[in-house]
Structure 1
């Protein structure tokens, strides 16, 4: 037992040193020793091990006070890579992400609403192979694939229980994609992956309690509480799209009446817009809104009202320090930011309004891909 405890401590120390170098590079061995409280001898031993494994390199010399120059340490960003994949209703995004969380290349592939589950997987596999070959990345340096997609996802078993947008039900996505690609695969809800990215390098960085709200083909949320993703009992925490706001309202794809998604999702907006005018897509609604057409203003006024109500309810339930608004609707129609903020000011309970920050995603279309790649790195990177 004592030997196991010693091995665990060595492993934890090694991970700690690597994390410090990753986040504070370039940094000297002496600075790491001061931060960790470990002896310079221990730091030298750990750094030598990390160097041999290809994680750490020495960089330029700098003068440290008078006399000797200190050798600075940095991480090797190409020691390994992960793949982030976003699968949405009409688009697939695939990104190669290096060790420090930089997207080496991002590819967007159209997805047909009519294409089958296996056609989508083949499309992912083919484009993934092309990207790897194009960037000349050895397969042994790719440690896994992370996938973010909408719906009820059993992340522990790699199963898509239900995805209304993709029309998938009870599919073994992680195993099927692993069979095609020969890489380890992790899947999760797209918004949970997006908030991982926001926590890593976006609006939620350094925040212990944050909620991300995604508004687009559907509406949902994801939460970081006490610095960790809050999943609930079955990974469904945050599924605000299926909270009932009008029991005599519209019929939802889930079979219930009056779900929030039936008033805010782009499909719901388009459906109501077609009662007034012949349009092709949500972009036509946005154009009509910009042109001052009253029906479009009425629709988007209703949408911003329900968004503000959703924000108000989230604040009362979870009391986060920050709410991040994201998604295609806001990115493609940024003019609605001001109406949302005005209505949030109207509906949010006064004691909560004083402290909460309402901000917008800084990551745009990269969020899900980056978060999925970071999450698979977190799950699979295990330094011995």
Structure 2
């Protein structure tokens, strides 16, 4: 009897989430359309919609008619019914923003500085003060904020909010989630930045309605994440997707992780600039691309090698996960408009024949906003319970 009650409770909650997702995805939808799309009974749909309206998450809007007969009332999400905060920490920037129930950023601010040169305590203070400032300046009703999601590069214990290792921030075994939650009094979840970006793209970006999406970020590091059925594939210890640390050459260049010859050492922005400086004074990634565009052979060679290893990365992810879609993003993609085209051209010769035509390559739609939207969405999914 006890198990039966639990099963019924699970099914009710699952159906509620399904109806809510349909209303969010379709913007405006009628009860009758929900019945058709879910195969639930009209009575069940009406009850669930009534619950969502009572909770303030959904509201009725205008009526419409497809023909003769009774007009249908349309339903839409009440965007400001629930709010979450998304924050992002990297070696050169801290960002935070308020995100509404539909994934829209209502207000955001950032601080650009050499964050990685500061002590842990100072970074935490900067993060917390920025979040407070964002909440105060946004003018939102603070009581509607249900949680905070923080993302950063590194290995994260998702269940505890602890940062096990972040080479970019030079952190090890930091209880970030607990510390921020105590300072702000907001429920806090912490996760890897690429996983959070992939989640955002799968819900609000180019990955909408895609069953299996892989996101690969090329920039100051190389990371990937897989979304299956709207959920992050984490692996046993939340390290799934750390493809940048697969070994390519055991005697190769030293990686910030402490090992030699990691894949990302052939691709990352800092190494490309360092390689360019062996030939010509170079201050930025953009300059390397400009030299290549102007026909300077040494720069063409550097970019071509970088492209090759980017395509090796993509092919490896495709072989491992067999996704419908691969989303590429990061400073290497952003710096050079032709990069996506060049990637696709070179990938044609590096992709296993059995996988050709089975996937599409897309660019990120959310760009740098994915960190804030993804962190906030993670907080929403973690802390918003409809009991």
Q: TM-score range by the shorter chain?
A: over 0.9
Return the offset for 1:367. 1.5
8 A contact 2:199–2:231 mirrored in 1:
no
Among 318, 323, 327, the residue aligned to 1:320: 323
In structure 1, the partner of 2:99 is 97
Matched, 1:240 2:243: yes
Relative to 1, partners in 2 of residues 1:5 and 1:257: Cα closer, same or farther, differing over 3 Å?
closer
Residue 82 of structure 1 and its aligned partner are, at CA, apart by 0.8
Q: Root-mean-square deviation (CA), in Å?
A: 2.0
- 1:1-384 paired onto structure 2 within 5 Å: 1=2, 2-112=4-114, 113-225=116-228, 227-384=230-387
Question: 2:340–2:363: 8 Å Cα contact kept in structure 1?
Answer: no
**Cα deviation, residue 68, structure 1:** 3.1
Pair 1:233–1:14, CA change in 2 (3 A): closer
Instruction: Assess if the C-alpha contact under 8 Å between 1:111 and 1:120 holds in 2.
Output: no
Further displaced range: 256-265 or 37-46: 37-46
Deviates most, 79-88 or 221-230: 221-230
User: How many equivalent pairs are there?
Assistant: 384
Partners of 2:54 and 2:318 lie apart in 1 by 48
Inter-CA distance 7–230: structure 2 relative to 1 (3 Å threshold): closer
Query: Using the alignment, how far apart are the partners of 1:200 and 1:129 within structure 2?
Result: 27
- 1:335/1:243 Cα in 2 relative to 1: closer, same or farther (>3 Å)? same
* Whole-angstrom distance in 1 between the partners of 2:38 and 2:260: 56
> Are the counterparts in 2 of residues 191 and 221 from structure 1 also a CA contact under 8 Å?
yes
Give how far 1:67 is off.
4.2
1:66/1:225 Cα in 2 relative to 1: closer, same or farther (>3 Å)?
A: closer
SS of 2:343's equivalent in the other structure is helix
Structure 1 distance, partners of 2:368, 2:247, is 29
Q: Deviations over 1:190-220 (max 9, x none)?
A: 1111110111022222222221110001111
TM-score, length of structure 2 as denominator length: 0.93
Greater shift, 200-209 or 305-314, is seen at: 200-209
Tell me the SS of whatever aligns to 2:117. coil
TM-score normalised by L of structure 1: 0.93
- Deviation, 1:80, is 1.1
SS at match of 1:144: strand
Alpha-carbon distance in 2 for matches of 1:204, 1:16: 18
Tell me how far 1:281 sits from its aligned partner: 3.2
